[in-house]
């Protein structure tokens, strides 16, 4: 029996459960915990992290497992542990506090707050001695300088409330010249030798490269395409990519993509599957195909639940060491591969001294493609050997927003490669979201674990699900998915919309209020929920001829224009939306018994200016398809703003309208 057990034992989050046997009297974030803090007039420690966070584990081992540290925390504070992936709303508030106070950010995130949750201090990782020193300082501060503490908390809270203030902006026109300015700013920070942004660390930022790929389509700027391919090439050959089992780690600590922070997150792999699939459409680089298939094999093998949902993450550590599961000694590789070792070393970089703590985190020589079947055989051998090691911890909670990103990844891979199994996996996951996460009123839950859906959904749960369901409609022409997206969007407007500025709050009106109700507008490693929602409203507006939704999308775009033009790397998803306002996208309506076949072939081309709709029989509810079905014939209608060209019967003829 464990010596200590705290309130977290009743939670389902793997991160919270990791701390359930700390000597610290951790409690979950809820109304009762905050009531307890007020009743006992104690300061609160809000400690936020996630299961795959390396430095979270370090701080737990150094401080939260230490009985002397726990004694101070338990006597003087109410201690709250938060899984940032379950409660990104709480994380957002205190991350703003950290950034206001220190100018930095990251996890673990540790805030000292008043009993009502207003922060008086916040930071990230603290070594044990500094943590104790800081705790004792605030014990004294609360006892002897209370009025100053109250004033400080009010000032910080005011700052948090105003950090994302967005004003409703007047309408202006978007121009093609805007693309040139945006590209020049992205270009200035681009590493054209190694890919990504200049310097280290290097994070995959899929939304930036999706925008640059789309920019190449519209402008034919070869440098925009190079920015994408040099990044994708270096990533897939680097150590951030698992050369044995597929899938990407969260980021690279160096400027070469060689040594990752070894945790693997569902959201990165989901978006990178979409990005490599789309890049394949443009380049037909067979290695991009390999990356997509290998990454989806990893997701299927290690992040898939039998229910159809996808797990959240794999830890960076195993046996208490970061990366131990993934790296190889020189002699170990030589023994496993035997006479093939020399050939292996011509494809993969291996040295006796290694590149990570005297071991080898495998990378590939970029100029050598090698025999695919031989490489696959080596991968199988190493994967079989690796499977006998002690595995990193799995975060097996299932998050709606991340599942929606993965659902879209499967759909994008299916659209590109036509692999039926990818569509089947997408449909299984869509049914999971529909049956397990969606409620009867079209509201969504955030989290699924042990057969239960919990926590009210946040804006990204809604917007990403809508985007995925729209994409699934385009892949299948099954209107139930489009209807669901439309109904979920309507629910989102009712419960998240801020009529004052035309944006969406991150939290629902049904949620217990925090000290600030935040609006997420800047894109990062995951697109901003507001940029995603603006895209949803644009596409639903086009498909349903809903001017109100189209106008809402445009207002949000106007609000973000100044931010986007100033800092495009943090507003790249907005920039992708701007392209649709510069140049009206095509509504490609396909009607006829073979509409699905025509659509499948067309969607294997990179045409980001197209929105697809179709029917293989009569009875569609979409006005653009009304009266267009003819038995025994198939017609392609290329339309803009619901005004259609004369129908054509061949893809080439349709492309003439689309690309002119």
pLDDT for 618 equals 79
pLDDT at 369 over 80: no
pLDDT one-digit tens code per residue, 555-600: 999 999 999 999 999 999 999 999 999 999 999 999 999 999 999 9
Residue 601: how many CB atoms within 10 A of its CB? 11
Q: Is 587 exposed, middle or buried (0-12, 13-18, 19+ CB in 10 A)?
A: buried
3-state class (DSSP) for residue 568: helix
pLDDT one-digit tens code per residue, 36-46: 999 999 999 99
How confident is the model over 252-278, as a mean pLDDT?
A: 97
pLDDT band (50, 70, 90) for residue 28: very high
How confident is the model over 322-347, as a mean pLDDT?
A: 96
pLDDT at 435 over 80: yes
Average pLDDT taken over every residue of the chain: 96
In angstroms, what CA-CA distances link 60 with 15, 22, 80, 81, 391? 11, 8, 14, 11, 20
pLDDT at 24 over 80: yes
pLDDT one-digit tens code per residue, 493-519: 999 999 999 999 999 999 999 999 999
* CA-atom Rg of the chain in angstroms: 26
pLDDT band (50, 70, 90) for residue 1: confident
> Side by side, which strands form the sheet with 119-123?
26-28, 77-83, 43-49, 109-113, 119-123
Instruction: Note the pTM of the prediction, 2 decimals.
Output: 0.96
Least reliable range by pLDDT among 173-177, 404-408, 528-532, 650-654: 173-177
pLDDT at 115 over 90: yes
pLDDT band (50, 70, 90) for residue 219: very high
pLDDT at 367 over 80: no
pLDDT band (50, 70, 90) for residue 170: confident
**What's the rounded Cα separation, in Å, for the pair 510 and 570?**
29
Contacts of 566 (CB under 8 A, 6+ apart): none
How confident is the model over 39-60, as a mean pLDDT?
A: 94
3-state class (DSSP) for residue 435: helix
Tokens of 70: 């726990």
Stretch (H or E) spanning 571: none
pLDDT one-digit tens code per residue, 395-410: 999 999 999 999 999 9
In angstroms, what CA-CA distances link 426 with 72, 413, 647? 50, 10, 31
pLDDT one-digit tens code per residue, 230-258: 999 999 999 999 999 999 999 999 999 99
pLDDT at 368 over 80: no
How confident is the model over 61-73, as a mean pLDDT?
A: 97
How confident is the model over 412-418, as a mean pLDDT?
A: 98
**What's the rounded Cα separation, in Å, for the pair 422 and 433?**
17
């Amino acid at each position: 029996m464990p010596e200590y057990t705290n309130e977290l034992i009743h939670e389902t989050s793997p991160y919270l459960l990791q701390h359930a046997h700390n000597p610290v009297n951790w409690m979950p974030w809820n109304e009762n915990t905050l009531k307890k803090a007020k009743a006992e007039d104690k300061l609160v420690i809000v400690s936020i992290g996630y299961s795959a966070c390396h430095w979270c584990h370090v701080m737990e081992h150094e401080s939260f497992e230490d009985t002397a540290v726990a004694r101070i925390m338990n006597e003087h504070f109410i201690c709250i542990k938060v899984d940032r992936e379950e409660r990104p709303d709480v994380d957002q508030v205190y991350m703003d506090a950290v950034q206001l106070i220190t100018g930095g950010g990251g996890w673990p995130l540790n805030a000292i707050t008043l009993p009502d949750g207003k922060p008086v201090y916040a930071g990230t990782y603290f070594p044990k001695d500094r943590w104790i020193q800081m705790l004792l300082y605030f014990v004294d501060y609360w006892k002897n300088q209370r009025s100053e503490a109250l004033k400080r908390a009010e000032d910080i809270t005011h700052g948090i409330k105003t950090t994302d203030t967005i004003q409703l902006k007047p309408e202006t026109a978007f121009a093609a010249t805007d693309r040139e300015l945006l590209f020049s700013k992205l270009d200035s920070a681009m590493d054209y030798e190694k890919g990504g942004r200049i310097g280290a660390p290097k994070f995959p930022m899929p939304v930036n490269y999706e925008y640059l790929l789309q920019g190449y389509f519209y402008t034919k700027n070869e440098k925009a395409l190079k920015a994408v391919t040099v990044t994708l090439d270096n990533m897939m050959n680097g150590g951030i990519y698992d050369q044995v089992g597929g899938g990407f780690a969260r980021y690279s600590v160096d400027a070469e993509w060689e040594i990752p922070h070894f945790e693997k997150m569902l959201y990165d792999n989901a978006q990178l599957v979409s990005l490599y699939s789309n890049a394949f459409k443009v380049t037909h680089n067979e290695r991009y195909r390999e990356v997509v298939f290998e990454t989806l094999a990893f997701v299927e093998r290690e992040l898939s639940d039998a229910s159809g949902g996808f797990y959240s993450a794999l830890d960076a550590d195993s046996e208490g060491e970061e990366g131990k599961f993934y790296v190889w000694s020189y002699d170990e590789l030589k023994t496993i591969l035997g006479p093939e070792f020399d050939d292996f070393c011509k494809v993969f970089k291996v040295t006796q001294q290694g590149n990570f703590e005297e071991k080898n985190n495998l990378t590939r020589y970029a100029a050598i493609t090698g025999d695919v079947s031989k490489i696959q055989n080596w991968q199988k051998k190493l994967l079989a050997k690796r499977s006998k090691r002690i595995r990193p911890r799995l975060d097996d909670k299932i998050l709606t927003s991340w599942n929606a990103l993965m659902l879209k990844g499967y759909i994008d891979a299916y659209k590109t490669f036509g692999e039926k199994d990818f569509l089947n996996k997408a449909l299984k996951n869509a049914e999971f979201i529909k049956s397990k996460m969606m409620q009867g009123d079209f509201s969504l839950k955030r989290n699924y674990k042990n057969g239960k859906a919990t926590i009210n959904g946040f804006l990204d749960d809604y917007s990403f699900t809508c985007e995925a369901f729209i994409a699934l409609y385009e892949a299948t022409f099954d209107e139930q998915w489009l209807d669901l997206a439309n109904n979920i969007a309507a629910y989102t407007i009712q419960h998240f919309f801020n009529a004052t500025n035309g944006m969406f709050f991150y939290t629902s009106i049904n949620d217990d209020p925090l000290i600030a109700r935040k609006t997420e507008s800047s894109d990062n490693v995951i697109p901003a929920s507001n940029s995603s929602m603006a895209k949803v409203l644009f596409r639903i507006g086009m498909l349903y001829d809903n001017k109100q939704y189209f106008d809402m999308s445009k207002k949000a775009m106007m609000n973000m224009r100044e931010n986007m033009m100033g800092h495009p790397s943090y507003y790249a998803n907005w920039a992708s939306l701007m392209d649709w306002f510069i140049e009206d996208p095509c509504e490609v309506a396909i009607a006829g018994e073979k509409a699905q076949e025509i659509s499948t072939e067309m969607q294997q081309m990179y045409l980001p200016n197209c929105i697809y709709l179709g029917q293989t029989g009569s009875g569609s509810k979409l006005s653009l398809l009304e009266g267009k079905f003819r038995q025994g014939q198939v017609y392609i209608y290329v339309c803009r703003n619901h005004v259609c060209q004369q129908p054509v019967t061949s893809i080439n003829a349709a492309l003439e309208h689309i690309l002119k």
